[in-house]
Amino acid sequence: MGLKSKDNISIRNIPMELVIESHIREFGSKRSRGQYSEATIKNYLSAIRSLHKQVEGPALFNDLDWAREHQRVIDVVNKRDNIQTRRNLINGLIVSLQTIGFPPEVIRPYEVLRDKLNEQYQSGGALTTNQKTIMTAVSKQDILDFLQKESKDPGLSQDLTRLCCFVVLTLHTRYPFRNELGNMKAIRRALYDKFTEKERNKNNWLILEKGFSVMTFAMTSYKTKGVYGIREIEVEKKYIPFLLKIFQMREIPLADVNFKSVLVNSKGAEFTANKLSKFLGAYTLKGLGHSISTTLMAKIFGSVAADPANPTVAELLQMSLEADQRGHSLKTRFSRYLTL
């Protein structure tokens, strides 16, 4: 049962996130479509927590009364350039308000905004305003030239944060991942094959075989895992030396590699998905003059047909491969990952 209060809106002395989570779970248990997934609940809570911070600043998260100030909240949401980010924030807010029991007149303006954002997301094209600006200023060749220059700089081997960012950017010229390289652990194939499904699903893995000479990405924990399942993607040989360099710089022998984080900063702290975004943004801002995300890398390096009206079989197969590696449908690939 959800946590109750006199007005069914807030409960004193209980963290608001717990109140919201309880009501979401109770609401989900009664839905015709069934309970929300754990990932969905986590996303809703993350969104409402983030929106509260953006609207209310450092004020304690004790209630949702601030949501009654529609224009103030909508102005905050509209400051976010990315339509998907706006949708996430609004969806988290709507679910929180609905499940706790706010009246329709409070929720309705946000529902209208949600529907508008959904329409924009479906038909508004692949690029945000900021992404268009960056892709006009920074070309695919600019990134390749930067990486080539970096690879020859002796200083790269002296800074672990920089090396890991270099490896991430390099890998994303070939693999259209989200931020799955963050939170990734190394594991030897013999041990990985003995894992239960629960053990495999704890995080994503870099599987090692024949020493460090064969590597495979095992994506077992990612946004659309429920639809596409575990994805094993063999690392092309030309990228293996870059990943190996990370372990060599940390002096990690094969015998001790199991469960070690693949990406760490110079202090030895793991690159989480959020930290990957932070470090990569700072790295590309310094080296290329613009902060480039993994999403933008997928758009910049996504393959396109030489003649869009008449793609070849080889071009179509490559597009299909990129969709599979990112873990989304071809419809999403074509509608959201176009390039200039």
pLDDT in tens, the chain (340 residues): 344 443 444 444 568 889 999 999 998 898 888 888 898 999 999 999 999 999 999 999 999 999 999 989 998 998 887 888 889 999 999 999 999 999 989 999 899 888 777 766 665 445 667 777 888 889 999 999 999 999 999 999 999 999 999 999 999 999 888 888 998 999 999 999 999 988 998 889 999 999 999 999 998 876 666 666 788 889 999 999 999 999 999 999 999 999 999 999 999 999 998 899 999 999 999 999 999 999 899 888 877 767 665 566 677 677 777 777 666 555 555 555 554 3
- Measured distance CA(112)–CA(123) in Å, rounded: 17
- Measured distance CA(133)–CA(121) in Å, rounded: 19
Tell me which residue of 339, 319, 301, 295 sits closest to 126, measured CA to CA: 339
Contact at 8 Å (CB) between 194 and 213? no
Full strand arrangement of the beta sheet holding 205-209: 185-188, 205-209, 214-219, 231-234
- Measured distance CA(227)–CA(328) in Å, rounded: 9
In one-letter notation, the amino acid at residue 247 is F
- Measured distance CA(294)–CA(301) in Å, rounded: 10
First-to-final CA distance of the chain: 51
Contact at 8 Å (CB) between 305 and 311? yes
Q: How does 104-127 read in b/e, with b if 16+ C-beta sit within 10 Å? A: eebbeebeebbeebeeeeeeeebb
Q: Environment class of residue 267 by beta-carbon count within 10 Å: exposed (0-12), middle (13-18) or buried (19+)?
A: exposed
* DSSP-H helix ranges across 172-272: 189-192, 197-200, 225-228, 240-249
- Rounded (5°) CA angle 89-332-80: 25
Rounded to two decimals, what is the model's pTM? 0.62
- Rounded (5°) CA angle 323-325-330: 10
Pairing of strands 205-209, 214-219: antiparallel
Q: What is the pLDDT of residue 129?
A: 73
Six-digit token string for 166: 């270099």
**Residue 142, Cβ neighbours under 10 Å: how many?**
15
- Rounded (5°) CA angle 228-114-99: 85
Q: E-strand spans in the chain? A: 185-188, 205-209, 214-219, 231-234
Q: What is the pLDDT of residue 55?
A: 95
Tell me which residue of 227, 177, 197 sits closest to 329, measured CA to CA: 227
Phi, psi (5° rounding) for residue 36? -65, 150
Six-digit token string for 74: 């909508």
Phi, psi (5° rounding) for residue 25? -65, -40
Q: What is the pLDDT of residue 222?
A: 66
Q: Domain ranges in the chain? A: 16-123, 129-184+232-336
Six-digit token string for 17: 């996130």
